[in-house]
A = this chain, B = another copy of it.
Amino acid sequence: MTLRSTLDFLLHDWLKAEALTQRPRFAEHSRQTFDAVLDTCERIAREKYAPFNRLVDTEEPRTETVPDGSLRVVLPRATHDARAAYAESGMLAAAQDYEHGGMQLPYLVEAAANAFFGKASISIGSSLLTVGNANLLMVHGTDLQKQVFAANQFNGRWAGTMCLSEPQAGSSLSDITTRATLEDPNDPLGPRYRLRGNKMWISSGEHELTENIVHLVLAKIPGPDGKLIPGVKGISLFIVPKKLVDAQGQLTGVRNDVALAGLNHKLGWRGTTNTLLNFGEGQFKVDGQAGAVGYLIGEPHQGLRCMFHMMNEARIAIGMAATMLGLAGYEASLEYAKTRTQGRPVGAAGKDPNQPPVRLIEHADIKRMLLAQKAYCEGALALLLYCAKLVDEQHTADEAAADEARLLLEVLTPVAKSWPSENCLEANSLAIQIHGGYGYTRDFPVEQYWRDNRLNMIHEGTHGIQAMDLLGRKVLMENGRGLQLLAGRITATIERASQQAALVEHAKALAKSLGRVGAVTQAAWATGNPTEALANAVPYMQAFGHVVIAWTWLELALVATADASKNEANLQGVLPATTYFFHYELPKIDAWLRVVESRDMTCANMPEAAF
């Protein structure tokens, strides 16, 4: 299957994307406009991204010192061209109102269209952070902030970043020490502060792809005693442009006091510049003073709330990145397996050395590794598009349905981020394995996919953080109503599948697994002690994710059995992939869940000296 035909199957045969056009916001859209967006993105990805994926890996970003003593970042020409084509497509403003120059596209279609770029070259990137940055401003910014800083990101003129982490505080935002001091409460662009501190792991923190860069920076405003408020409550959010601008959005010619301190040299994902930034160290003094000029967004001390507003979509996007790398490896290894000849069949048929060797795909173990990749990656893609549709539901459905969508998203987001990160990485490893020694060389693309994909379990909240979020917060919130809602949807699928002879066994297995997850969730919290409940949060999340993906496959299998007339090529693979997932994967949950259920403290109690 091509990615396009898989997307068509999921969007239309399964998720009925066209039905969204009945909502006022999407009323001017149709299957044709959706197709046109996918066509455009598929073409740009094919022409401007895919041919340069290896190039951006080998020619990774480097720095040059410019005459003023600061560092500039040098990127390949191809990255500039790809960025320009992407901005030109209008995708940066895909979801925005028509009146703001947007397309009013459902997030479902936007996510599907962006998938092409992820698969073609994840590290050239599809300007995810720019869109997230501007979206945040549209919710929390003043009108002028929207007009100056958001609009100029949506139109492609500027790019955006998110500056959260600091060198001494990776995932632990309560420990950030970047400090913001009020300079002028009445600046038209927002209360003006001076910021001082260091930010780490900032993607696209410095480059010359765009005229300006809009940093969104978490920092703390000191109290009257000059001390920073400990914990996350002290955090505020600021707009810190690389170059200062006036209220009309024109560059003033003054460089802000934001300096590139260095680049991180990564295992993969090398096309994306990853930076260490110094704010306010005086390299570019503004009005003779050190301190980066920043404009407060919203109220003081509400920074984290503002930032986390965009977290669900950012995490879905990471899951999508992992999935697209997985699919890219699947496609490459499928192609290789269909053409490379090697060895002979098992059994009598293979005993005659006079017979020519067979193609790799004729070996059962190669088929196993291909089917596993298909089941992981297409299953993950289905879940992610399901979540994307929930985003649309949350924003455009009636109140009850929107609230349901919101809660389901809360529960599903940690899974949508973590499950593909882990399992599509494994898919990439299988893609290497199918290639044998060739897969271990840089002459084939699969080793790069595997390296690129290893990031996804780390950024935007590590696996461990996702797991604590799921078991420690999401399945409990609102008295467990999110988990109940999800269980309700899964049960509805089970009931439908129970009517189909081909699916009844899978339906039974899923019902049993769902029951196990419910019981184990209870057991984990039976003592009410978070230390015990959360000691095995990651195995819990692994099992939870497998149940969710099994459900997703059962949903697709229902489409395939009900709708055998349509989209036949896709349907042919759905039932075997479903069976694969139910026979080979779902049974793995027992091993994961038993330690959660028994609140096993073997790891937690390990004495440090015994390691």
Contact = CB atoms under 8 A, between A and B. Distances in A.
B606 A367 contact: yes
Most-contacted residue by chain B among A200, A365, A585 (CB, 10 A): A365
Interface residues of A, number: 102
Given A347-B531, A573-B611, A357 B175 contact: yes
A603 interface: yes
**Chain A interface SS verdict (over half):** helix
Contact of A169 (B265, B342, B440, B536): B342
Given A230-B353, A364-B535, A172 B343 contact: yes
Interface string A334-367: 1000100111111100000110010001011111
Contacts of A594: 583, 587
Interface string A510-538: 00000000000000000001110011111
A264 interface: yes
Contact of A437 (B365, B437, B459, B579): B459
B201 A437 contact: yes
A365 to B, nearest CB: 4
A441 B264 contact: yes
A554 interface: no
A22 interface: no
Contacts of A531: 345-347, 364
B576 A584 contact: no
A79 to B, nearest CB: 20
Contact of A353 (B231, B463, B464): B231
A169 B436 CA distance: 11
Given A334-B611, A364-B534, A442-B265, A433 B450 contact: no
A609 interface: yes
A297 to B, nearest CB: 22
Most-contacted residue by chain B among A344, A440, A467, A600 (CB, 10 A): A440
Interface of A: 1, 165, 168-172, 174-175, 200-201, 230-233, 264-268, 334, 338, 341-347, 353-354, 357, 361, 363-368, 370-371, 374, 429, 432-433, 436-437, 439-443, 447, 450-451, 454-455, 457-459, 462-464, 467-468, 472, 529-531, 534-539, 569, 572-573, 576, 579-580, 583-585, 587-588, 590-591, 594-595, 598, 600, 602-611
14 contacts: A174-B353, A200-B437, A267-B447, A361-B611, A364-B535, A368-B604, A371-B606, A429-B454, A432-B454, A433-B462, A436-B458, A576-B610, A588-B591, A590-B590
Given A171-B436, A433-B458, 10 more contacts: A264-B437, A265-B442, A334-B611, A347-B530, A364-B536, A432-B458, A436-B462, A580-B603, A583-B595, A583-B598
